[in-house]
Structure 1
């Protein structure tokens, strides 16, 4: 629907880019002014109306491949009123910018003090723009601090975006520094709904928005197991010690589920891949374990999840929870781990925790989950996917970012979750 006073006469590009008319009077004479306006509600998201001179900027350290769909939605809704800057990587060289090159402008980076501090080149428009600027909520980014302080003291709008607290918790020294960054900022965009209550408690007068850490568009989030036999439990993620992947083969062996032809699928790459493969060979399980390597293609991942009874997270829960539940697959995860905000998806059900965080604990959890989920109907897996999509889709994520950029208020309940949405 086109708002009152706007006359649509054409369409350009991915968004609804239209010429509008604005009638004003100056000294009693009607004046016709043509303003480039973006008005797009086709995907069910919030409408965005802007003049192109009010440019907003995302100035970030890194934008990994799994942000592509969110960036696509942002580009479609905001058009030329949004510019995106990022470096090749931030402080972790294993997490690199992977979105299409046409979606952002690359800025150079330099690590200081053995990559403990990040310095990025700062384009002048990041300082000058009259629109909103978003920087990382990362105390180790010198550039984020520089932009934050400059725009605060020159009266320009500046937002921080990231995790409310480090994974080690709210009581750490870096958590206090993050709060200091938030005090300087005009507002904060957070990755999870459960963070809203804590953010309000710490800084009651600061506006917050949630850009739930999503991967896929809503239409891609659905159960993919129709007419397939589910006979696999899968791990999807980096093969690193922080993920406790050294427990996967040991837990699988001790669960003895391989005796009933339940396979273990491992999707991902990392420094421990060779070790995990050698474990499978040592215990004679190579024929029952599938190593897929790194898989980013949505269709290929959908096929893999379509064969899964449940997924595994023996280390901290992150984006793999969004991915698994988004494809309608329940998750088994270690309770005692420094989880990312995505662990809040346990509120939706179908995330089974276990302890202790050991191979024995994992083996026991595998057996319990197998008995619980082996006969789960497709209607239930569809419900898991649909419910997850209503909170964690690329459209929902972009809604949070756009609301923050435009300073549009969003209502969150006392628990931090959106008002009017059912978590059950």
Structure 2
């Protein structure tokens, strides 16, 4: 189909670049993926006092939420000053994860909210978050977090969805080299001590998503593709 087309609407910039390298006569534009409009990209609340972590996603083994909980609890044992960890989502691992928390020395520091659809309640959780986290497979939730100005922490050596392209090292995200409790604990302690750097990036992170990962930007990119194809035909 690619050979017969005049242009390609790619999912990511990486894909678009591969198409252009394969056939320089073709027009290839990345549309990006979106789960919200520009009006839903927000930076509200007193974000200078955010000191919580948040995980949003399914509670399944491949997401490695247990690793996150263990690392978070370990930071508290080592004197870390995170105020809490919010778990948003549901799944087969929920019972095991709750038992892990209840048997710890800090059972009141991890809150399970269940599944929450995008809206005011979920937005309020993001408002209190210093970082969003995804120790296992990372998906569209990273874009959702950044839309609220929240940077994300992800494992470098895990498979992720194409939305991982939005995670730019030290700009919108932090990559943890090793997917172990020890490595995540060290990184969380380091990031907690360097919170001002990330708090100062809130507006830029939200603006980054507004420009590249909203419904409006997808439409704009598609129209740009049509325009480039028509221009090439002249």
Q: TM-score range by the shorter chain?
A: 0.7 to 0.9
Whole-Å Cα distance in 2 between the matches of residues 246 and 183 of structure 1?
46
Aligned match of 1:366: 188
Q: Match of 2:12, SS?
A: coil
Whole-Å Cα distance in 2 between the matches of residues 338 and 203 of structure 1?
28
One of 211, 229, 233 as aligned partner of 2:31: 211
> Does 2:174 match 1:355?
no
Aligned match of 1:202: 22
CA contact (8 A) 1:235 1:313 kept: yes
Aligned match of 1:409: 228
Query: CA 1:381–1:298 in structure 2 vs 1: closer, same or farther (change >3 Å)?
Result: same
One of 205, 209, 231 as aligned partner of 2:51: 231
Deviation at 1:230, TM superposition (A): 1.5
Aligned match of 2:221: 400
Aligned match of 1:256: 76
Quick check: which one's helix share is greater?
A: 2
Query: CA 1:182–1:279 in structure 2 vs 1: closer, same or farther (change >3 Å)?
Result: farther
CA contact (8 A) 1:235 1:311 kept: yes
Aligned match of 1:331: 152
Query: CA 1:403–1:350 in structure 2 vs 1: closer, same or farther (change >3 Å)?
Result: closer
Query: CA 1:400–1:283 in structure 2 vs 1: closer, same or farther (change >3 Å)?
Result: same
Deviation at 1:388, TM superposition (A): 2.1
After TM superposition, the score normalised by the length of structure 1 is 0.49
Aligned match of 2:232: none
One of 138, 152, 158 as aligned partner of 1:317: 138
Query: For 1:63-212, what aligned pairs fall within 5 Å after superposition?
Result: 182-183=2-3, 187-212=7-32
Number of matched pairs: 227
After TM superposition, the score normalised by the length of structure 2 is 0.85
One of 379, 386, 389 as aligned partner of 2:207: 386
Q: Match of 1:201, SS?
A: helix
Q: Match of 1:260, SS?
A: coil
Structure label with greater radius of gyration: 1
Query: CA 1:312–1:204 in structure 2 vs 1: closer, same or farther (change >3 Å)?
Result: same
Q: CA RMSD in A?
A: 2.5
